[in-house]
Structures are given as structure tokens and as C-alpha cells.
Amino acid sequence: MTYTDPAAGMVRAAREEAKRRGLSNIQFHQCPVEQIPFADDSFDVAVSRLSAMFFPDVLSGLREVLRVVKPNGVVSFLVWTGKEFNPFFSVVTEILDRFVQAELEEEDAPAAFRFAAPGKLAKLLQQAGATSVTERVFEFSIEAPITVEQFWELRTEMSDTFRNKLARLVPDQVAAIKYTVQKKMASYFKTGAMVIPGQVLLVTGRRPESSSSAT
């Protein structure tokens, strides 16, 4: 089993978590998706978990993932659906945008909800050369034994964009945003822990048996 990520911090965190769990059958590599450091036909299956939305060049990334799986090997990409189905992210963003004007983003700019539209990523995976492409919606809960106060700290720590926007505000504005976020999110902490609904798309395909992925 092999784990890759372009961010050194993510690779380090994953390696430390594997060590904590006593897992010794995983190798770790820092690399961009366009330059996966493995030979053709190296893996039976490749899985991308909540990362395809941030590929700088989506088609190049998809083709590279197809390249490293064996003929008829499976590739799967997990991406977020719409903001309305994922309050873990959307609530904070919507409230923050009331205080800091949101920057206009291009439709295909790397962002969390880039592939929220049904069929969008599936079409690109077909263009990259995959066959038997399917798409499924999964609903789940994001659960953790934390308070709404800790949720605020978690969202602050995990988003550079969020931190940078807060840095432009005066303390009273930050306090107002924090209060509003916690009030809006309180219903997801009624049990004494965090239970927030979420929704993702699972887009899956296969590398063709008799030819390499499209170029």
C-alpha cells in the first residue's frame, strides 16, 4: 500500500498516524499528482480521497493516475457535492463572506466544490481514457468528540484561506464571526459531540485492458 500527497505536512501527519496505529505495510511519498514516481502498471487500484478538486491540471492528473494502475485496474475519486449538503465547510464560509468580500473564483479554479455538479468529474475521467465510469452519491456524518468551541479552533487551523481572511479583521469582527458560527452550528452539537451531515460523490472507472490511457 502506498500513500502520496503533494504537501509535506500531510505526508508527515499520515506517516505519524500510521506509526501510532502500528501499521507497517504503507509507504509514503511526497509528490504532485502529475508526477507520480512509479512505473506503469504498478497498482491494482488507485484511490483519490478529497483531492481531485485541487489538481492544478485535472486531465493530466487523471491520466497519470490511470497510467500507474494495471490494465483493467480500478481508479476511484472521492469529491464533495454541493455546499448545501456540507455545512462543515459552507456555514463558516457564508458567515465570513458577510465580513470579508469573497474573491471572484473561476468556475474551474481549484476549490473544495469544484466537482460538486453531477457528471462533471465523470466526464473528465472518460476524457482521460477511463472506461466503465460510474458515479454514486454517499451521505455520511462527520463525527468527533469535540465541542462547538473546538470546532471553531479546528476550522481555523485547517484553512489557510480562513486564517488569512480573519487576519484582515479587527478583534471585534472576529469575535462576531466566531459567535455567529457557533450559534449557527450549535444544532450539530446537541449530543455533546460533533455530528455534522456530509455528502460526497464517488467517481470510479477502469484503465482500458488493451491500451494505455489517453494522451
Report DSSP letters for the chain, one per residue: -EEEES-HHHHHHHHHHHHHTT--S-EEEE--GGG--S-TT-EEEEEEES-GGG-SSHHHHHHHHHHHEEEEEEEEEEEE--GGG-HHHHHHHHHHTTTSPPPP--TTSS-TTTT-STTHHHHHHHHTT-EEEEEEEEEEEEEES--HHHHHHHHHHH-HHHHHHHHTS-HHHHHHHHHHHHHHHGGGGTTSSEEEEEEEEEEEEE--SSSPPP-
Nearest to 45 by CA among 207, 203, 202, 200: 207
Query: How many Å apart are CA 36 and CA 5, to the nearest integer?
Result: 10
Please tell me the predicted confidence (pLDDT) of residue 97: 87
pTM of the predicted model as reported, rounded to 2 decimal places: 0.86
**pLDDT tens figures, 39-55:** 999 999 999 999 999 99
Query: How many Å apart are CA 45 and CA 206, to the nearest integer?
Result: 9
The ranges assigned to domains in the chain are: 32-206
Q: Calculate ∠ Cα 78-198-106, nearest 5°.
A: 60
Please tell me the predicted confidence (pLDDT) of residue 105: 64
Q: Which residues of the chain have pLDDT under 50?
A: 212-215
28, containing H or E segment: strand 27-30
Query: How many Å apart are CA 47 and CA 58, to the nearest integer?
Result: 15
Please tell me the predicted confidence (pLDDT) of residue 100: 79
Q: Which fold has domain 32-206?
A: Rossmann fold (3.40.50)
Query: How many Å apart are CA 13 and CA 118, to the nearest integer?
Result: 32
| Neighbouring residues of 176: CB distance < 8 A, sequence distance ≥ 6 | 99
Please tell me the predicted confidence (pLDDT) of residue 103: 67
